[in-house]
Each structure stands twice: as C-alpha cells, then as structure tokens.
Amino acid sequence: MDLGLAGRRAIVTGGSRGIGRAIAAALLAEGVQVVIAARGEDQLKVATAQLSVDGGVVVPVVTDTGSDESVQNLVARTVSELGGVDILVNNAARVGGPGGPGGVRAVTTEDAAADFNVKVLGYLRAAQEVIPHLVAQKWGRIINVGGLAARQVGLVGGSIRNAGIVALTKTLADELGPHGITVNAVHPGATRTDQHDGTLSLTDEQYAALGGRVAIGRVVTADEVAAVVAFLASPVAAAVTGESIAAGGGTPGPIHY
C-alpha cells in the first residue's frame, strides 16, 4: 500500500534510538523528510549516519523536551531546514519513568515532576509549537507514543504519565479535527529493539518469558510499532483520530471498548 507520505516533513522526538529511531526509519522509507530530536548529540550523530544510508533527508537537532526554549528551537529549525512541518511524533521520555517496587510511597514528587515535564508536558510543548503550522496548511498528523502502563496499574509513574498522554491526545484531536489534523496515541508494551542502539536490551530467554504474556506469543519489534505509527501519520489514516491504539502484540483477558 502506498501511504501517500512522499515529500512530507516530520519531527520525531526521542528519535536517536529504540522505537523512535525505528519510527524515523519507517517514515524515511515512505519518502518523508525527517528531523530526529534527542538530548544526546553523539547518539544523534550515530543515528543520522545510519538512517541516511539510503539517501533520505535526516536532520539531527539536539533537543530537551523538558525545556520550552529547546522545543521552540526544534520546530524553528525544522521549518528552516525543511520548509515546514506536517507530522509530529512525540516519543521522547525518561526510560522507565519514576517509581518501582514500593508503590506510591516509593515515588518522589521531584522525580515524578521531572518525568512528567519531559514526557507529558514535553508532548504538549511540541504540539503547541507545530499547531500553527499545521492549522495554516489545513493538514497535519500528531502521534503520541505512550505505553501500555496507561491501561494497568503497577508502575505508578508509568501509569500516571501515559494516562496523561491519553487525555492530551483526545483533547488535541477534538480541537484540531476541524482543521484537517488528526491526533492519536500508540501504546507499545515490551518491545524488542536493536541490541546495538544503546537502549536496554533483554536476553533471548527474558524476551521469551515476556512473550508468554502476549497474545501473539512473542514480544513485538520496534519496526512493528513503527509501522503502526507510519500508518497513522499518513493520509490513508484520515478516519482515525482521538484514539489510543495498543501496539504490544495483544494483552490476553481485558476487553477495551
């Protein structure tokens, strides 16, 4: 299927590694010009070299989504380098989020606030900056990468931040729909990434154990998550907005309406 994305211009935050880099690669394969944003300059350089192998346009921009000024610079650089912006993929986050064993009392308010600032408020910042450009051209796509913790409790910080992303997504979708802009969230679960991209990788045995709790019987790959994002970023997906789509291979048991 031709997704009709050739010539579009995208920003992918958290685009230097893991799911973000896979999303950038999927968009590039569809002919999209891509700005990848991340805090680490060295990792951005590596990712840019790898993503540019097939000749696509890749622009690295060092960005901290926890900073208003940094996000403003990101969008300004994108418009300057590519002539505009059509697609925003919000993916930047602190890996794992705050908290862990010990429940609510194990989460410090400082850590939770820092995490919320980077992911939820970071997504809001980026959306606020691209909205005028999308509205002016009467077309755009925003995809917010959350996580399956939005649908279950256990990891306190992860559940809070991803549930916040669901609310942000629906709010943006309702407001921007009349302007030809769709907004959706994608929730990966445990995801297998390139072991050499700098993200935390599990052993084959650990992935196999996780796969036993997935409906398809295995852990999905970053490329499979990226394919869902690429579809939602395309004109083909015009009928889908305000939705939170799980991309974790299926969770046995719960029914979501």
Over the stretch 32-79, which tens digit does the pLDDT of each residue have? 999 999 999 999 999 999 999 888 999 999 999 999 999 999 999 999
Contact 14, 37 (CB under 8 A): yes
In the chain, where the domains are located: 9-246
Q: Average pLDDT of the chain?
A: 90
- CB contact set of 44 (below 8 Å; sequence gap of 6+): 16, 36, 38, 60, 61, 62
The percentage of residues in the chain with a pLDDT greater than 70, rounded to a whole number, is 89
**Which carries the bigger pLDDT value, residue 227 or residue 113?**
227
Q: Are 67 and 43 in contact (CB under 8 A)?
A: no
Q: How confident is the model at residue 202 (pLDDT cuts 50, 70, 90)?
A: low
Signed CA dihedral, 150, 155, 156, 157: sign only: negative
Q: If you ran DSSP here, which 8-state letter would residue 63 be given?
A: -
How far is it, in rounded angstroms, from Cα 107 to Cα 127?
28
Q: Give residue 253's pLDDT.
A: 83
CA neighbor of 162 nearest in space, from 218, 97, 106: 97
Which fold does the domain 9-246 belong to in CATH? Answer: Rossmann fold (3.40.50)
Pairwise CA distance, residues 87 & 184, whole Å: 12
Distance CA 27, CA 120 (A): 23
Of 13-22, 50-59, 191-200, the poorest mean pLDDT is in 191-200
Q: For the whole model, what pTM was predicted? A: 0.92
